[in-house]
Amino acid sequence: MEQNFGLEVLGIREPGGNIISEKIRELLLDAANQGITSRTEALLYAAARSQVVEEVISPALQAGKIVLADRYMDSTIAYQGYGRGLDINFLQELNQLCTGGLKPDLTLLLDLGSEEAWPRRQKEIPDRLEKEGLTFQEKVRKGYLFLAEQEKERIKVLDARQEPEKVLQLAIRWLDEILMLMKIDRERDKINSFGAPGKKGVQGVKKSTASSSFEQELAQRRDAESQYRMQEILKEIDRLNDKLNRSLNINDLMLYKKMVKQFLQEASARAYAVKQERGRNRRGRSLLISITTIDHEMEKLIEDFVRDPKEPVDVLVTLDKIRGMLVDLMI
């Protein structure tokens, strides 16, 4: 990752990840076990997944770790659903049962046509599933792509025909984005527990005749927390701005747009909180106009760039203008 988010990463593979699941993996992938039925296959994968979720994944997440899994619940739909032809609803219920509803925040799908991927796999000793042949593999690929179409926010398709370094860069970009959003969510959670960054939260306080002063203090802490989050988002925007100064591209522009939207949402929420606390927000109308203007400028910039890429200097000037308006919203 390009940023240091201070998070511990745990890598696992599926099926596998612990002693029991690894033994199930050996059984499933052993090319000698050709007699395994499609339903038995699905249940064995589910058993391995259930064990690793309960024994490894859930404890790791509760400890604040990032879990990076090589395959997960989507594989059941792609392989046993589209590949084997089992009922999709049955498999979805099975996934729900063995995971407890635990879904990934982000799934990276490295897509390569079966005809291109097949020769690569022949360089290795094929396992039981790889021996199913090209037609089976193409069904599985279509299953993955269908899932990606249904869940565009979670599943990001990466063109694996590109050089490995390029694919890695794209993967890192998506990971950076989801980790940044998770960081913002964690900071938002601190507000809900009445804590400011680096300060102990206020808990168990009941309303009394002195509740007015407490509410004022709480409002001040929340405002400080909101400013902190806006500053963090602005740092990410500045980082993206530096990248765009070095190399202007649509992917980073779209990410820039997304972070600007996050900033505007935070600014809007902060203004609403001030209005609720003070009864009236004198800046309300001007703030709304500023947010609308920024949003319009960003949309127009993206549309113009896609339709007819401008000279880099024109785009960068507009980005600097937008950043200046964002800073004004923090005052």
Distance (Å, whole) CA 100 – CA 46: 12
The rounded mean pLDDT for the chain is 82
Q: Is residue 183 domain-shared with residue 157, that is, in the same domain?
A: no
Residue 200 lies in a domain: no
More confident residue, 161 or 295: 161
Are 88 and 81 contacting, i.e. CB atoms less than 8 angstroms apart? yes
Local structure of residue 7 (DSSP, 8 states): -
Residue 55 is predicted with a pLDDT of 97
156: three-class secondary structure by DSSP: strand
Longest dimension (CA), the chain: 77
Q: Is residue 281 domain-shared with residue 148, that is, in the same domain?
A: no
**Which tens digits make up the pLDDT trace of 32-60?**
999 999 999 999 999 999 999 999 999 99
- Which two tokens mark 167? 């694919």
Range picked from 145-149, 188-192, 245-249 for highest mean pLDDT: 145-149
Cα radius of gyration rounded to whole Å, the chain: 25
Specify the CATH number for the domain of residue 78. Answer: 3.40.50.300
pTM score over 0.85: no
The percentage of residues in the chain with a pLDDT greater than 70, rounded to a whole number, is: 79
Residue 243 reports pLDDT greater than 80: yes
State the helix-helix crossing angle for 38-52 and 88-99, rounded to 10 degrees: 20
Specify the CATH number for the domain of residue 313. Answer: 1.20.120.490
Q: Is residue 55 domain-shared with residue 24, that is, in the same domain?
A: yes
Residue 125 lies in a domain: yes
Residue 104 lies in a domain: yes
Q: Is residue 228 domain-shared with residue 113, that is, in the same domain?
A: no
H helices then E strands: how many in the chain? 12, 4
Residue 118 lies in a domain: yes
Residue 69 is predicted with a pLDDT of 97
More confident residue, 145 or 189: 145
More confident residue, 155 or 221: 155
Q: Is residue 154 domain-shared with residue 232, that is, in the same domain?
A: no
Q: Is residue 175 domain-shared with residue 155, that is, in the same domain?
A: no
Residue 37 lies in a domain: yes
Residue 206 reports pLDDT greater than 50: no
Residues 6 or more apart in contact with residue 74 via CB below 8 angstroms: 107, 144, 147, 155
195: three-class secondary structure by DSSP: coil
Q: Is residue 149 domain-shared with residue 126, that is, in the same domain?
A: yes
**Which tens digits make up the pLDDT trace of 129-179?**
988 988 999 999 999 999 999 998 899 999 998 899 989 988 988 888 788
Q: What's the domain range around 153?
A: 9-161
Range picked from 85-94, 189-198, 259-268, 277-286 for highest mean pLDDT: 85-94
Q: Is residue 183 domain-shared with residue 51, that is, in the same domain?
A: no
Residue 106 reports pLDDT greater than 50: yes
Give kind and range of the element (H or E) at residue 134: helix 134-150
Q: Is residue 23 domain-shared with residue 99, that is, in the same domain?
A: yes
Range picked from 61-65, 107-111, 274-278 for highest mean pLDDT: 107-111
Residue 65 is predicted with a pLDDT of 92
Q: Is residue 149 domain-shared with residue 172, that is, in the same domain?
A: no
**Which tens digits make up the pLDDT trace of 67-80?**
999 999 999 999 99
Residue 204 lies in a domain: no
Span of 5-9, 214-218, 305-309 with lowest mean pLDDT: 214-218
Residue 274 reports pLDDT greater than 70: no
φ, ψ of residue 156 to 5 degrees: the values are: -110, 125
Residue 324 lies in a domain: yes
State the helix-helix crossing angle for 250-278 and 312-329, rounded to 10 degrees: 20
Residue 205 lies in a domain: no
- Spell 176-204 as b/e; 16+ CB within 10 A means b: bbebbbebbeebeebbeebbbeeeeeeee
More confident residue, 331 or 34: 34
Q: Is residue 235 domain-shared with residue 290, that is, in the same domain?
A: yes
Residue 207 is predicted with a pLDDT of 39
Q: Is residue 144 domain-shared with residue 249, that is, in the same domain?
A: no
In the chain, the number of structural domains is: 2
